[in-house]
Structure 1
Amino acid sequence: MENWVLFFVIVVGVPVIAGVANDIFKRWTALKEKQLEHAAVLAADKAAAQTAHLERLEQRMRVLERIATDKGSDLAAEIEDLRAEPRAN
């Protein structure tokens, strides 16, 4: 009788347990892949936003450099024009 139980556990139980474990592993792997994809999208969005912000800052810096090195009499008007520009955060 004990041999039949052992045989049943080996023939039926082990493959079932292995199949369930394999399914759990596949689902866990798929979840981790989705989490990594989501993190990559967030990182790309953040990088794009930072790049746009940096470009705006560089543009303002070029204007300020031009104003600082310009010997013209329009300096006050150009500074006021800069103040009138809407700030982007």
Structure 2
Amino acid sequence: MPGELIPILAIIFGCSIPMVAIWAKHKQKIAEMQVDTTAQATAEKAAQYTGQIAKLEDQVQVLERIVTDRGYDIATQIEALRDTVEVEQGSSGVPLEINKQERV
């Protein structure tokens, strides 16, 4: 009886080894495809981030020019003058000369 099992076991192992090899090769192909897909997605995200970083750097350069220009100081002075005029005029928002003319 044990002698009869040896050929049966040989046939089973003989068939299962190629099946395991095919399964392993299939798993390897799936893993390679996943790596390729992940690499492509990562490259696309990197390109998007590079574009966004370039835009942000341009915006920062514009803001730096505005802040360091004399124009920023002038804008600040204009706003300061507006604040003082509003304090003098009260809350009506009408220039003082017009108020005086209407009262006459």
Quickly name the TM-score band, shorter chain normalised: 0.7 to 0.9
* Per-residue deviation, residues 9-63 of structure 1 (Å, max 9, x unmatched): 21x2212101000100100110011001100100110011001000000001001
**Which residue in 1 is equivalent to 2:69?**
70
* Per-residue deviation, residues 47-80 of structure 1 (Å, max 9, x unmatched): 110010000000010011011111148x87xxxx
Structure showing greater Rg: 2
**Which residue in 1 is equivalent to 2:91?**
none
**Which residue in 2 is equivalent to 1:35?**
34
- Identity, % of aligned positions: 28
Amino acid of the structure 2 residue aligned with 1:42? A
Q: Distance in 2 between matches of 1:45 and 1:15?
A: 46
Q: Distance in 2 between matches of 1:26 and 1:35?
A: 14
Q: Distance in 2 between matches of 1:72 and 1:39?
A: 49
**Which residue in 2 is equivalent to 1:23?**
22
**Which residue in 1 is equivalent to 2:9?**
9
- Count residues in correspondence: 74
Q: Distance in 2 between matches of 1:42 and 1:15?
A: 42
Structure 2 portions without partners, runs of 5+ = 76-104
Structure 1 portions without partners, runs of 5+ = 77-89
Normalised TM-score (structure 2)? 0.63
Normalised TM-score (structure 1)? 0.73
Q: Distance in 2 between matches of 1:28 and 1:65?
A: 55
Q: Distance in 1 between matches of 2:20 and 2:53?
A: 49
Q: Distance in 1 between matches of 2:71 and 2:9?
A: 93
